[in-house]
Chains A and B, each alone.
Chain A
Amino acid sequence: MVSLQDPDQELIQRCRSGDQPAFDQLVLKYRNRVMGIATRMLGDRVEAEDLAQDVFVKVYHGLQGFQGEALFSTWLYRIAANSCLNQIRKRKRESQVAVSADDPEPNISDGKSNPHTLLEKKELNSFLEKAIHALPQEQRMVLILRDIEGLSYEEIADSLELELGTVRSRLHRARLEVRASVKEKFDLGVE
């Protein structure tokens, strides 16, 4: 039974009935989130995409067993997080390579930003990605889920099967680390 508050309830029901398009919609909705988690955790885009595809294959086969005790997104992130952590353990090393050359285009929200600002922003983003990738994997995962994916503390605790206090402490330490790295190079401009 799927939670009544789950926005994906209908799609899940249709998927269980064998509705292929419903599954496709789920994939299209969450694919970039899973891709972002995998890329920032593994540090390699190709490997991350392959892992992201595997995550959705697992979701496809596991939908019949999904009881709806949590939101679908929580369940999805749990699969993604565990897959990433397993992959890292399997490799027994962390890639020092940041996001590859074909970085996505910056999300320009202010049409009035001058090129110098854009360049700095691009450089800043790249530096941030590296700083995040330099974090320990436990802190990294929490930071990504909270500050990039926007999950709540409870959702993160459910997805990673952690205590709330653990989530808070790991998140805080991760933020402080990233801030320290950025402050060395960039002026964070506190008025």
Chain B
Amino acid sequence: MNCQEIRELSSDYLDRQSAPHQVLLFEEHLQVCSNCREEVETLRTTISLIGSLDEIKTSPDFLSQVHRKIEAGGMLRRLWAWFFEPFRLKVPLEVTALFLMSFTALYLYYRSPEISRESDILAPLEGLKLAREKPLNKALPTRGRIEEGNRTAESETKLLAELKAKASKRKSSLEKVGKAHDKVAALTGKKEAVATKRNLQDAQVKPREESLERSDKDFKRYQMAEAKRPESLKAELSEPMDAEKKSREGMIASVPKPEIYELTVGNVALYERRVGVLLKEVGGSLLSQEGSSESGLLLTVKLPQSRQAEFLASLKEEVSVGFKREFQREGAVGTTSGLEKELQEKNVITAGDRMLPSTSRMVEPTVKLQLRILPKK
């Protein structure tokens, strides 16, 4: 064993921690090496001096101080034990409970109506709707409720006003279109009447739809009547039927053809003057005149519908020869049931008379008639 090893192992040797063979080697070296012997001895002295240091004593009240601290920490200690002991069981449960509580609180917070994000970003219409469904939110302060109610009322009033304006606009536009249609139909040909009719269709006037339904019924009645009509008359009426079909199928309005009354008289010119007088009496007017006194006249007259019966009755009285009535179909507007009924009431026609259903315009209160005045032969 060398001096270095002696220095390293001197504490073990002095503390009797060395193995027996190491002790022998150690002592053999010390016998021959004075330096190592001095090193070991000074170390032994140092250890002895350290060991002889005075014992440091506590103060006399050390024990009472310990008692005091035990008592003071007792409550805290009990609380700690109550909350966290046993640690492995209580801490996970408490953490889980804390998490659930936090989650529930946040969930309720964001779901509450006072701070609902929907109410914050509602558009005015949405707000109006909300106000209708939930008149007042009681959680809001009073001022807020009043303001909200005012805003709701104003919005509703605006909405109603807008709807009314639209309705009146539509009504006036429909009336205009209807008038235009009748004017065009009275003065010109089919094309312009079709255009105005189309406008009417575009406007989607409800009475027009109803009149279409009535027209369907009338058409069916007409078909039944047509089946029973003598052959001689069918040909003359075929054209109006076609026109009516076209009108139904293509929704193209035909120019309403006037009713034709054929009178056979002794003096055509005299009767012509008489028709003029009667027309004036009922407030009508002569629209056109064709033909001659010798061959016969075709007069187109216009008179108020309400005076038509009166006019025809007057004519009947003037005419000694049979009064042949012939109706032609007009466009698919209106119905002739009213006229037929009126004529029956006025005894212009009887129930047994064969009348073809025709339609009359519902818009204008006037009718147009054609009088064919033929000389008696």
The answer for the CA separation of A105 and B53 in the assembled complex, in Å, is 10
The answer for the CA separation of A56 and B73 in the assembled complex, in Å, is 13
Closest to B47 in A: A147
CB of A57 within 8 A of CB of B73, answer yes
Least CB distance from B79 to A in Å reads 13
Among B17, B52, B65: residue with most chain A CB under 10 A = B52
CB of A32 within 8 A of CB of B11, answer no
Binds A, one of B55-63, B133-141, B355-363: B55-63
Interface residues of B in 2-54 (CB under 8 A from A): 8, 10-12, 15, 17, 38, 41-43, 45-47, 49-54
- A105/B54 contact (C-beta < 8 A), A183-B42, A190-B38 known: yes
B51 interface neighbour in A147, A183, A188, Cβ under 8 Å: A147
CB of A39 within 8 A of CB of B63, answer no
Contact with B along A33-77 (1 / 0, CB 8 A): 001100110000100110011101100110000000000000000
Interface residues of B in 242-258 (CB under 8 A from A): none
The answer for the CA separation of A171 and B50 in the assembled complex, in Å, is 12
In the complex, which residues of chain A have a beta carbon less than 8 angstroms from the beta carbon of B54?
103-107, 125
Chain B residues touching A, range: 20 to 34
Interface residues of A in 171-187 (CB under 8 A from B): 171-172, 175-176, 178-179, 182-183
In the complex, which residues of chain A have a beta carbon less than 8 angstroms from the beta carbon of B41?
188, 190
CB of B42 within 8 A of CB of A175, answer no
The answer for the CA separation of A153 and B11 in the assembled complex, in Å, is 12
* Interface Cβ pair total, 8 Å cutoff: 104
Is A157 interfacial (CB 8 A cutoff)?
no
Interface residues of B in 69-86 (CB under 8 A from A): 69-70, 73, 77
In the complex, which residues of chain A have a beta carbon less than 8 angstroms from the beta carbon of B43?
175-176, 179
Least CB distance from A95 to B in Å reads 15
CB of A32 within 8 A of CB of B56, answer yes
Closest to A46 in B: B59
Number of interface residues of A (CB under 8 A): 48
Is B95 interfacial (CB 8 A cutoff)?
no
Chain B interface SS verdict (over half) = helix
Binds B, one of A3-11, A23-31, A83-91: A23-31
Is A81 interfacial (CB 8 A cutoff)?
no
CB of B17 within 8 A of CB of A153, answer yes
CB of B70 within 8 A of CB of A60, answer yes
CB of A178 within 8 A of CB of B55, answer no
Q: Would you give 20 A-B contacts (Cβ < 8 Å), ordered by A?
A: A27-B62, A31-B62, A35-B58, A35-B62, A54-B69, A56-B66, A105-B54, A106-B54, A125-B53, A129-B53, A132-B50, A143-B50, A148-B53, A168-B17, A178-B50, A179-B43, A182-B46, A190-B38, A190-B41, A190-B45
Q: Which A residues fall within an 8 A CB radius of B?
A: 24, 27-28, 31-32, 35-36, 39-40, 45, 48-49, 52-54, 56-57, 60-61, 99, 103-107, 124-125, 128-129, 132, 143, 146-148, 150, 153, 168, 171-172, 175-176, 178-179, 182-183, 188-190
Contacts A60-B66, A175-B43, A178-B46 aside, 19 further interface pairs with beta carbons under 8 A come to A53-B62, A53-B65, A54-B69, A56-B66, A57-B69, A57-B73, A99-B56, A104-B55, A105-B54, A128-B50, A128-B53, A146-B15, A148-B50, A148-B53, A168-B17, A176-B43, A188-B46, A190-B42, A190-B45
